[in-house]
A and B are shown apart, each in its own frame.
Chain A
Amino acid sequence: EAGVAQSPRYKIIEKRQSVAFWCNPISGHATLYWYQQILGQGPKLLIQFQNNGVVDDSQLPKDRFSAERLKGVDSTLKIQPAKLEDSAVYLCASSPGRWNPGYTFGSGTRLTVV
């Protein structure tokens, strides 16, 4: 089966600009996750969707980050305006249902804010 697709692979923007990342999960997967991985740290969950509803966004900086999953398939994560500390790899993952031990990650989008 095809894996989790993410684009772009790399993005460089200036601070205060906006940026968007796209994720296409594995076909049929109901749960979609966005993680932020800062250099030298483990990934941290930003937001989790079950179909097109948000399950957990407790660690999403809502003053600048937003995410949507229209029609319960693809998802977009947006940052506006970006800060230097947003430089990180943004990872998308998906799983078949509400809880599945061990799920598949995409290759990520590496964001550099200068």
Chain B
Amino acid sequence: GNSVTQMEGPVTLSEEAFLTINCTYTATGYPSLFWYVQYPGEGLQLLLKATKADDKGSNKGFEATYRKETTSFHLEKGSVQVSDSAVYFCALSDQAGGTSYGKLTFGQGTILTVHP
């Protein structure tokens, strides 16, 4: 079955530092890949997505590239801010035409804390 593995956390950085959160996946076929963010006390928000190999998703300065050869979708940001402190989840879903009707499989989440 499908699975997602994220790097162990928590991650603590100073403001303006470079961020990488690793994500690898196991899936049959060609899944779509996502990063979701959960700010304290709030629900999950879609941060970015990529639906085919070599696609780059980007939003709010965050980027992730769909690497089929390494089955990875690492999240990066060049300069983090205190407001980026949150829990980040990598996720995948089967492509259209599959049987899962858009079911998301999530990683365990990575807590990011950014200090001034």
Contacts and interface: CB of A to CB of B under 8 A. Distances in A.
Interface of A: 4, 31, 33, 35, 40-45, 48, 50, 55-56, 91, 93, 95, 98-108
Given A31-B101, A43-B104, A48-B101, 17 more contacts: A40-B109, A41-B108, A42-B91, A42-B107, A42-B109, A45-B103, A48-B102, A48-B103, A55-B101, A56-B100, A95-B102, A98-B101, A99-B96, A101-B34, A102-B32, A102-B34, A103-B102
A108 B46 CA distance: 15
Which of A42, A50, A98 has the most chain B CB atoms inside 10 A of its CB?
A42
B114 to A, nearest CB: 20
Interface string B37-59: 00000111110010100000000
Give the interface SS of chain B, mostly helix, strand, loop or mixed: loop
Interface of B: 4, 32, 34, 36, 42-46, 49, 51, 89, 91, 93, 95-98, 100-104, 106-109
A107 to B, nearest CB: 4
